[in-house]
Structure 1
Amino acid sequence: MTWSTVRRSVAPLVLALLLLGLAAPPASADSAPAGGATAATPVTVSADPLPTVQINGVAWSQVVVGTTVYVAGKFTRARPAGAAAGTQETVRNNLLAYDIRTGQLITSFAPDLNAQALVVTASPDGSRLYVGGDFTVANGQSRLRVAAYDTATGALVTGFAPAVYGQVRALAATASTVYAGGSVSSVGSVGRNRLAALDAATGALLPWAPQPGVGSTAGNRDGSTVTSNAVLALVVTGGGSQVVAAGRFDSLNGTKATGVGALDPVTGATRSFAVNRLITNQGVNSAVWSLSTDGTTVWGSGYDYYGPGNLEGAFAARADGGGVVWVDDCHGDTYSTFAQGGALYVATHAHDCGNIGGYPEQNPRVNQFGLAFSQAPVGTVGTATLRNRNFTGQPAPALQTWFPTFASGTVTGQYQAGWNVTGNAQYVVYGGEFPRVNGTAQQGLVRFAVPSAAPNRVGPAAQPTPTASQPLGGAARVSWQATSDQDNGTLVYRVHRDGSSTPAYQVSVASTWWNRPTTSWTDTGLADGQHTYRVSATDPFGNTVTSAPVTITTTGGTTVPPPPTTTALAQDSFTRTSTAGWGSADTGGAWTVGSTATTSVDGSRGVLALPAAGRSASASLAAVQATDVTVQASFATSSAATGGGTYGYLAARQSGNTAYRVSARFTTTGAVEVALVRQVAGVETVLGRTTLTGATSGVVVRLDASGTGTTSLQVTAWPRGGTAPAAPQLTATDTQAELQRAGAVGVAAYLSGSATAGTQVLVDDLWAGPVGTRPAAG
């Protein structure tokens, strides 16, 4: 439950990532990812809302055929983008079409339904449009809740007129069959239990008659004893070789299938669909609300309002067998999904994505009505799940930096914004009841485009507000909190001194609307007198905001000794405590952890818990984006190594599961094997290896990375409490293209699969700074 007025009736990569112990920063990808596109960080559409025809009601469903978007809903008028309500209107009763390229109403398609349309889909060849809902008349002719239109002519298909009794909420079509679902009770005089199949050519009823069953009402937290087996969504997969249904039911043909299940397309027999063993959404207060598919993967979404449901986000499952690909365990009901270009877009009102490494609950609450996730699994679901722990430890996607702002609407009384999302390879389109997008009037329908087709005018959200202080004679320290951008996670900040157009300093900083780290730069060697600084923030498309000037008067001589962290990009001594996650570093912003269940801080160390063989844990500082960097940390273990040992990892230039890393393997002999590793898309290449003895109290490792095109790498390691050697033990150069860019710093741990007991990897004194610099002594 996440929206107090939601109505009850309408409310193998992952294994590699876990073994390597590196979860990607959750919001690192956008319309121009800083490290380039990867499976974890795909290129998203721009957050620019494009002008689109508007409606005076609600859009419940959309389907794209070629360059045409067909929209089904409850509305009576359409008007151009930019037109005020009640002006320049064209009659369109509950069904319309517009051009996805221009957003303009297609005037040649003018259907007329006498009641709301709840679902629209197309035949596989796009020649027919099927629509379902509450209507009984289409274009002046009797059509009981299902109708078909010719997409070439826009005409109502005369030979397709089944008499369906009961609301139609779901349709899916093959070349020969139209599957219908909802609260269907009969077709003609033949009874049906929520599901029916129709001949695609004639509309004749087919023998297909699966039996969705009701579930227990014991889980209804409002005391309701009413139940339901309504079907809310249907898709066909495998070229028509399977039907997947979703809704309020708890079984199919007597077989347990909570919320979602697979059916034979001819006999209606139940097939295995494993994800329904984890989902508990069923009944009048909870359901699996929507389905979408590319034929091989099925994406679904759910809602719960005082019911037994544990899914308010989305899931990805393999069409063949329903095995879990990932679970988006954001909290806040989700109504529709659409996959495009490596990302999955959702219509939602999610207010807490912290359990998968995204934004936490805010006070006052912030609902995001449109989000994007990686189609690839990246991290794992944490322990803060709803109702039960069924999803804890399951693979999770990465939340992307794509945050358009939809205003909630009032048409349905649900105060929702988008109810559905779909698109094609170039555009993502949302439909619903929203009155505005990004503050611009745009009612009910909106388009977003891939960067090559978008204006890319959405830039940094606000001007930086720098402050200036004097840390020592002849110097000025300029500090500012990062801003954020709706569709770019990394911005370039430039500091201009005394009105110069040439920046005196430049740095790339990752940020999101909920995580805006503070950055500082110390300007030294200044002449005595007044100096003025401005700080600008620029996104990858050149959108720039510039601060007001800040002025400081500097004098000569050392007045205050510089603190040890003057050159630090990141520093953490872990003197705080946290039982779930690592909180924020002393310098470098908030830690992003793979799971809050395996990360904690005990007052002196960061703890990476490895409770069993084959388990991993990770943490990274997404706000620290650096190319030429030195990163250093100490590692120890809470118990002696068993089996193949315990691993600690230190990473630089990290983006997803790509990074330069140092691994420290604590062995059963007491020796620590140190390796310099290049990791690209989860695949490791060892660039050098050495063995360290006498490290009974742990090991300190340091990684220096410098240069692009050809990167120079150095690794220095020594026993904790000892003295660093004068020269690095490992050196290498590398030209791997994916690593010739800035990235985050991070740590991780892994317990070998042959280990016989769990353990913890203990991290302390993490530090990162410009390459060649070192943390202050003590």
Structure 2
Amino acid sequence: MSVLGDQLYVGGEFDTLCGQPRRCLASFDLPSGRLTAWDPHPATARGVPEIDIILADHHSVYVCGFFNSVGGKSRNFVAELDAGTGLATDWNPDPLNNVWAVALDDSAVYLGGWFQSLGMVSRRNLAAFDLKTGKLTDWNPNPDGLIVYALAASGGKIYAGGDFSQIGGQPRSDLAALDPKTGLATAWSPDPDQAVLALLVRDGTVYVGGGFSQIGGQRRRYLAAVDAVTGLAKDWNPDPNDGVIALAMRGDTLYAGGWFRQMGGHFHGSLAAVDATSGTVLPWQVDTDGIVNALAVGQSTVYAGGEFEHVLGGPDRLNLLAFDATDGTLKDWAPSPNGPREDYYTASVDVLATRGNTVFVGGDFTTIAGRQQASLVALDGATGALLDWDLKPDQSVHALEVSGDRVYAGGYFQAAAGIPHLALLGATPPGWVPPPVLGPAVVLSPIRPNPVLSDATIRYVLPVAAPVSLALYDLQGRRVERLLERQVQPAGEHQLDVSARRLRAGCYFFRLEAGSVVRTQKAVVVR
């Protein structure tokens, strides 16, 4: 799924949606929830088409998967579609095999996967395209291995992880930082001894997950923090003894779930919290007797779901539990989902999401919080009580996305509330209150100084308290920086100081969203 403006774009393996023919790709109008006429209709010469990756940005929707045509044109494995018409653009990378990773920065789109050429030009597993022209750039890191699994763009670098031994003209084992203009590997070389499967870059640290046991010159198993400048492994070393399949972050704490039984040299049964700076495994114990599949963070609570029956040394907690985000104290919150529909032996919680004090739970179960309700529920985050919201999907739910005033769910179901919904549905969360309509009294003052050389000040006025979002966009409509994200602010005058030191010379727009009102101001950056 990917959201762009008031449209939700979805991809997968399906032939119909809402009773209408849609093959693998479709879009929904978010305000009404109705299926739009957008229908790129991917197809294959042999086999069944599928969409594996979908990324909407500005006026385009990038899709990757198994297809030979889409949007009315011949396209192999990857395409750029017009977000309004669904027609394929002239951009045609034409890889000879699958694309598994996509990343965007200010000027290029980067593709990683399992291919040897793009558009009859040799490119092995990694390539970049100019966002303005859509043409394949000279950027050619040329990894020699089987596949690139993960990409992350940060700090003027493109981080690539996968299964390779050479990339960007240099020997690099499974992980590298690449120059976004030349494609050459930087001196950064953590050199893990096995494949890298996941990357997260934050505050000068690259968090790396995979199958390795050594990285950055140090012994690190499954999970590591690598200095984004030196490539050396930091002292951060939680050292799980087995797989980590769920991660969540709150402040300076990283929560990990999976099927491990040790973390930091101490017993931790599938659930642990780690100081994101020091790597110290926090001393609290919330150990389960099974597997943790999903984690979600509320305001002061972490929720964990999976396949388990007990908290070891404590009370029963069937497949779902909650603990204090600060000290790990197990909360008296036990909805106990049970009664599998599809698995003969055990129920499971497969996905979690939060919005305010509401916890959305998806999985394979038929009872929860003492009542018959299956596959998808909304719970009170404090009491665990079942909220009055039952969409009645007829089979399990495995994907959740909460966006604005809607909850989107994906899974194996074919109907919800007696209405056909093939594998996808959207609904308004319980207790949702529309944002305040503020009207013309919202004022975003001109940026000062303007032109901007290094720093600038943004001033705005709110007539009443409202959630505020503020972002910076370039002339092509690409978001350059997110400054505020739905931060509730009181009525009155507000001021925000921002730095333009990392921006290129040119014209930009600051976009303020306050409740349902949008205001913009132009700024010119000079050098």
TM-score (norm 2): 0.49
Per chain length, whose mean CA-contact separation is higher, i.e. which structure has more relative contact order (CA < 8 Å, sep 6+)? Answer: 1
TM-score by length of 1: 0.35
